[in-house]
Structures are given as structure tokens and as C-alpha cells.
Homo-oligomer: A and B are copies of this chain.
Amino acid sequence: MRKIFKAELQALGDDLTQMAELVNKAITGASHALLNGDLDTAQQVIVDDQQIDDLERSLDERCVLLLAQQQPVATDLRLVVTALRMSATLERMGDLARHIAQVARRAYPTTAVPAQCTPIFEGMAGAAQRVATRIHGLLDSHDLDMAQTIEEDDEILDNFHTDVFSTLLGGEWEGTPQQTIDVTLLSRYFERFGDHGVSVARRMTFVVTGDFHRAATNDAVS
């Protein structure tokens, strides 16, 4: 039984890693589409989100079957419950990347982000992509140093989020109402992406260090 359980747990970890890889691809594509007005890439991100949703469903089903067939207790049980939570968070990160791509698609053939805000969104896109890359790395390698850098990039995203509002309210903002709406929502999507990244990183840290109580109770910062 124990051997089967370990193999099943490994398969769960592989699914989570694959989800993180797809989220990384999604936020990279969405950022590129947004900053370059690239319609094809935006469209691809929107279509590909279904893969992440499907993976979440199969992973969740795997978790339920694992609970039913292996009846894990203590640490093993908390590992499975934590995997369930991480898959929901990764799915949500995929949704946020899709939302960014949808804004890019709607704005085509112009870009949703006016020149005045381009440097901020280049910064946000960079930080969000680092978060996604490191979550993938963290799930793949269990290297906890990555968790710390994810928290740092989340703080960078929060600061850019504040910068966006300073720009919009600074008196020199010349955007149209549509641009104000787009920039407000895009900033919110990137900021939430970082929050969810921190949630995954903390859960993973607790999985690796064995502090499962905190993993079970630590929810997305909002």
C-alpha cells in the first residue's frame, strides 16, 4: 500500500508541476500579447486555458480517489488536501492570465496599455513571469529559496499596483475612460496573480518543511 501511495503522490506532484508549467506559458503569452498587441498569442492563451481547467479536474479526481483508496492519515492526508488547494490556486492563476489576454484581444489593433503606463506594465509582466517560473521551479525541484523570491516579486507587484493608481490620479493622466478601465483591471489581475503565487509558495514550503497546519490554513493573500 505504502509503495502505491508514494507513486500516487508522485503522480499528483507531476500534475501540479504540469499545471504550473502551463500557467507559466499562459502569463508569458498574455504579457507578450498585452505589451505588443499580438492578437494571435492572446487568442492562443484564451484557448489554452481549457487545458489548465481540465488538468485541475483530473488532478482533483485523482485526489478524491487517492483519499478513498489509500485512506491516508496524518501528514499524508494533509499532503493530499494541500494538493487539492494548490490545484485550485493554479487554476485561478490561469484564469487571470486569460483575463489579461482577453483585454489585449479586445484592444487589438491598438494596445490596451498607453505609453504613459508601459514601463509599469513591463515591470508587472516581468515580475508575474518570474513568479510563475519560480512556482514551476519550486514544484519541480522543491528548492525553497525560490519561495522567498516569489514573496519578493509579489511585493514588487503590489508596489507597481500602487504606481498605477498614482499615475491615473497624478493629474498628468491623459488616457480615455476605456484606457482607465483597462489599466485598472489589468493592474488588479497582475496583483492578484502575485497573491496566488505567494499562496502556492507558502503551501509548498509547508509541504517541504512538514508544517502542514500552516499549509492547510494559509489562504491567498487578498
Task: Tell me the A residues contacting B by CB distance below 8 Å.
Answer: 53, 56-57, 60-61, 63-64, 67-68, 71, 73-74, 77-78, 81, 84-85, 88, 91-92, 95, 99, 165, 168-169, 173, 177-178, 180-181, 184-185, 188, 216-217, 219, 222
A218 to B2 CA separation, bound complex (whole angstroms):
31
Q: Judging by beta carbons under 8 Å apart, are B64 and A81 in contact?
A: yes
Q: Judging by beta carbons under 8 Å apart, are B57 and A217 in contact?
A: yes
Copies of chain A in the complex:
2
- CB-CB under 8 A from A56, the residues of chain B are 219
B67, B84, B184: the one within 8 Å of A181 (CB): B184
Q: Could you tell me the distance in whole angstroms from the C-beta of A193 to the nearest C-beta in chain B?
A: 13
- CB-CB under 8 A from A181, the residues of chain B are 165, 168-169, 180, 184
Q: Whose C-beta in chain B lies nearest to the C-beta of A74?
A: B68
A184 to B60 CA separation, bound complex (whole angstroms):
34
Q: Whose C-beta in chain B lies nearest to the C-beta of A49?
A: B222
A60 to B78 CA separation, bound complex (whole angstroms):
11
Q: Could you tell me the distance in whole angstroms from the C-beta of A14 to the nearest C-beta in chain B?
A: 20
Beyond A165-B181, A184-B184: 10 further Cβ-contacts under 8 Å? Answer: A56-B219, A60-B216, A64-B81, A67-B67, A68-B74, A71-B71, A71-B73, A92-B222, A169-B177, A169-B178
Question: Which 10 A-B residue pairs are closest in the complex by CB-CB distance?
Answer: A57-B217, A180-B180, A71-B71, A95-B222, A184-B184, A68-B73, A168-B177, A181-B184, A68-B77, A169-B177
B61, B74, B216: the one within 8 Å of A217 (CB): B61
B68, B173, B216: the one within 8 Å of A61 (CB): B216
A95 to B196 CA separation, bound complex (whole angstroms):
14
Q: Judging by beta carbons under 8 Å apart, are A64 and B78 in contact?
A: yes
A192 to B133 CA separation, bound complex (whole angstroms):
27
A220 to B159 CA separation, bound complex (whole angstroms):
28
Q: Whose C-beta in chain B lies nearest to the C-beta of A213?
A: B61
B53, B173, B180: the one within 8 Å of A184 (CB): B180
B64, B84, B173, B222: the one within 8 Å of A177 (CB): B173
Q: Whose C-beta in chain B lies nearest to the C-beta of A63?
A: B81
Q: Judging by beta carbons under 8 Å apart, are B95 and A77 in contact?
A: no
